Structures are given as structure tokens and as C-alpha cells.
């Protein structure tokens, strides 16, 4: 159900996305138990007509294939070439609670696939070829080392706390 609280959450998500200079953001990236993501392929806060909200998205069709560079707000500064379908048809609900269907291609198709992947626990690095993953192995090791170091200093939750939170979020979705 779309209510004032959800509208407020979505507005805050757009603020966070623009602050990080992104073009999309999934709810679970900011610890929210909703199956939704936002996107603005223009990446410009003043371009309100380019803001889209996808609640409970479902892909109806994917076709073509293209390779392009992707990055992620969850892995700042990390970029790699990722192959994805170039055209998609996606069904979702918008912030007005209306069912919508979009036929997208190019960058916008890539954004909705990337953000939808987040909702399913998939990062762009999970879609890399073995060679692409190997090229990023040093950077990924640095991310993990930094994360573990923050866990040791209690600046990040422990693995057990993360697992418990994931369980909570999964229960909240059902």
C-alpha cells in the first residue's frame, strides 16, 4: 500500500541517491524491507520528470545483449564491464499505487536490471565474467579487508548481526 510514510521513504531515497551521484537505488541497499527501487536515468535532482519508482517489479521480457560499464553505490569507485539484455519490459507499481508497464532500452534498461538484481541479493560483480572478476580481485579484497577491519572496531555489524537482520528483512517481506 502506498501511503504518506512510503512517499517520505522514497523521497529520502532520492535524496540519498543524488547525494551519492547515482542513477538508481534499491530499498534493501538502505536497509529497508521493501521490494522497491528508484531510478532517474538523467541523474539530475532537477529532472523530476525523469524520476521513477518501481514497487514489486517483474520483468515480462528481456531481449538483445549489450556490454557496458557499471558501478554501484554499494561498492564506491568500483567499475566493470557487464553484459545484460539491452531491452526489457518491466511491470511494477508506481508511487501513485498504479500498475505500470515500461518498455526500456539502453541505459534505463540497464539501471532497472541492476536495481532489480539488488532486490534479489545480486551485485553487478556477480555478473562478471571470470576474467572481469579476476581484474577486480585486488579491489574486492581491499573492500573486504576494510569491512572486516570496521567489524573488528565495532563500526560495522558482525556477521551474526547481519544474518539476523537479513532474516528480519525476509520475514518483513512475507
Q: Domain extents for the chain?
A: 4-128, 129-174
CB 27 within 8 A of CB 37: yes
Mean pLDDT for all residues in the chain: 94
26/13 Cα distance (integer angstroms): 8
How does DSSP classify residue 44?
Answer: -
170 has pLDDT over 90: no
Q: Which of 126, 121, 105 is nearest to 62 (CA)?
A: 105
Look-up of cell digits 520528470: 49
pLDDT of res. 117 = 97
Look-up of cell digits 508506481: 94
> Average pLDDT in the 116-128 region?
96
Q: Which of 31, 32, 12, 144 is nearest to 78 (CA)?
A: 144
Look-up of cell digits 571470470: 130
120/12 Cα distance (integer angstroms): 22
The model's pLDDT over 53-90, given as tens digits with 9 standing for 90+, comes to 999 999 999 999 999 999 999 999 999 999 999 999 99
pLDDT of res. 81 = 95
142/164 Cα distance (integer angstroms): 25
Question: pTM for this structure?
Answer: 0.91
pLDDT band of residue 1 (cuts 50, 70, 90) is: confident
pLDDT of res. 174 = 62
Between the CA of residue 31 and those of 2, 9, 65, 89, 162, what are the distances in Å?
19, 11, 31, 27, 11
Mind telling me the catalytic residues?
A: 115
CATH topology of domain 4-128: Peptide Deformylase (3.90.45)
Q: Half-sphere exposure of residue 123, counting CA atoms within 13 Å on the CB side?
A: 13
Backbone dihedral region of 121: left (phi > 0), alpha (psi from -120 to 50 degrees) or beta? left
How is residue 129 written as a grid cell? 565474467
The model's pLDDT over 108-118, given as tens digits with 9 standing for 90+, comes to 999 999 999 99
Amino acid at each position: 500500500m502506498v501511503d504518506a510514510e512510503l512517499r517520505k521513504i522514497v523521497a529520502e531515497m532520492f535524496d540519498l541517491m543524488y547525494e551519492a551521484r547515482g542513477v538508481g537505488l534499491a530499498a534493501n541497499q538502505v536497509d529497508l524491507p521493501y521490494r522497491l527501487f528508484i531510478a532517474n536515468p538523467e541523474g539530475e535532482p532537477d529532472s523530476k520528470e525523469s524520476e521513477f519508482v518501481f514497487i514489486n517489479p517483474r520483468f515480462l521480457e528481456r531481449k538483445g545483449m549489450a556490454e557496458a560499464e557499471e558501478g554501484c553505490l554499494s561498492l564506491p569507485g568500483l567499475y566493470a564491464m557487464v553484459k545484460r539484455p539491452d531491452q526489457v519490459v518491466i511491470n511494477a507499481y508506481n508511487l501513485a499505487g498504479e500498475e505500470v508497464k515500461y518498455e526500456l532500452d539502453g541505459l534505463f534498461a540497464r539501471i532497472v536490471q541492476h536495481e532489480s538484481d539488488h532486490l534479489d541479493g545480486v551485485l553487478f560483480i556477480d555478473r562478471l565474467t571470470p576474467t572481469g572478476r579476476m581484474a577486480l580481485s585486488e579491489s574486492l579484497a581491499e573492500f573486504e579487508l576494510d569491512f572486516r577491519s570496521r567489524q573488528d572496531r565495532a563500526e560495522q555489524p558482525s556477521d551474526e548481526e547481519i544474518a539476523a537482520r537479513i532474516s528480519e528483512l525476509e520475514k518483513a517481506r512475507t
